[in-house]
Copies of this chain bind each other. A is one copy, B any other.
Amino acid sequence: MAASFCPPARLLLGPGPCNTAPEVLEALSRPTIGHLDPAFLELMNQIGERLRRLFGTSNKLTFPVSATGSGGMQAVLANLIEPGDPVLVGINGVFGVRFAECARRLGAEVVEVHAAWGEPLDCNAIALEASRKRFKIIGAVHAETSTGVLLGSDGIAKLRSACDASGALLVLDTVTSLAGLPVELDARGIDATWSGTQKCLACPPGLSPISLSPRAMQVIAARKTPVTSWYFDLSLISKYWGSDRAYHHTAPINMLYGIHEALGIVFEEGVDERFERHASAARRLWRGLESRGYELLVEEKHRLFPLTSVKIPEGVDDVSVRKKLLENYDIEIGGGLGPLAGKIWRIGLMGQNANSGTVDLLLHKLDEVT
């Protein structure tokens, strides 16, 4: 009963988590200190600064929520939405569906604009909806982890204009983009976002970096009803992450050591260099797959670098290939979700795994098991 758990040494090439950087693993194991210790408060300051730099923002309220990526979504939406609020969500995958469902449960009147899974969002259709009615939020997923589709900077600009026309806040899920693709909150006029740590940051899951613009904070300040979630009430939490340092809940100390280290690694490499490395590894994977006759789900100009969706060839068994990769070679890749289950594999090249050696190894092993 009391035995320790020794995880197998996997190469994590699915949709996340990816392999945690060794320096981050080491940081997690440093001695726990108190959540009000002056040394810890200084660490929080540094995490805030580093996250602002990576998000490309001067937003004061920028910190990691004490929950996983979906918990960050819950926190952001629970604070921005009051019952009856009109919310417009562009959907082309699981995480768009989840965004809409989360908003609906909070009482929002949600209008959904769907595009096929694997296709880009139809930003013109979203803009048309927004021109007809005032929305409080226009939301979308920056990097749709279920399909590998990017919402490009042109698309974001169109959504920003739609928000201006409709008086809405622009809210994006940046779980799979942060640290692998430019997010640039301020330059692009993104009002609120949540991300995760287990994707391109190469940190274990368990925290959700979020950021809210002053405009979003005004919306929260103007609420007529209290946030129904005490745990995720940003007005309370911001007193701990802000200069008051008022105790709300006990921060997940060691996980915060981890994200601090992971952010340090990003800047040590250089943000642009890191983006380029993710792009270059992805392109190598695409060429390798295409040369073997695989078809990719997403058109090249809409593809994510950190996550590639490849169609499973006719006659190849999804589960048995993934099982062989895992059991024979300790390599994890992801299957499809929802309507894409059994039809695609999802291959993540995130964090330290975005390199040519890893791509070549995967292609070689994939050859062996198919």
Contact = CB atoms under 8 A, between A and B. Distances in A.
Interface of A: 1-10, 12, 14, 16-20, 23, 25-35, 37-40, 43, 46, 49-50, 53, 66-71, 73-74, 78, 98, 101-102, 105-107, 196, 198, 204-206, 226-232, 247-255, 257-258, 260-261, 264-265, 267-268, 326, 332, 337
A249 B1 contact: no
Nearest to A250: B205
Given A229-B229, A250-B17, A251-B205, A71 B66 contact: yes
Given A20-B31, A29-B28, A261 B231 contact: no
Chain A residues touching B, majority SS: loop
A106 B68 CA distance: 22
A228 B107 contact: yes
A264 B230 contact: no
30 contacts: A1-B53, A5-B27, A5-B257, A7-B30, A7-B40, A10-B31, A10-B34, A12-B32, A16-B250, A17-B32, A17-B35, A17-B253, A18-B32, A20-B254, A32-B204, A38-B326, A66-B68, A66-B71, A66-B206, A68-B251, A68-B252, A70-B250, A74-B229, A74-B230, A101-B230, A106-B228, A204-B253, A205-B251, A206-B255, A247-B337
A231 B73 contact: yes
From A33, A105, A230, name the one whose CB has the most chain B CB atoms within 10 angstroms: A230
Contact of A2 (B43, B247, B264): B264
Contacts of A257: 5, 7
Given A32-B204, A249-B68, A37 B25 contact: no
A248 B17 CA distance: 14
A8 B33 contact: yes
A265 B4 CA distance: 9
B264 A1 contact: yes
B34 A250 contact: no
A328 B224 CA distance: 48
Nearest to A16: B250
A33 B4 contact: no
A206 B254 contact: yes
Contacts of A253: 17, 198, 204-206
B102 A230 contact: yes
A27 B4 contact: yes
A66 B67 contact: yes
A276 to B, nearest CB: 18
B32 A29 contact: no
Nearest to A103: B230
Contact of A6 (B28, B30, B34, B107): B30
A337 B250 CA distance: 14
A50 B5 CA distance: 13
A206 B32 contact: no
A336 B200 CA distance: 41
Given A1-B50, A250-B205, A229 B78 contact: yes
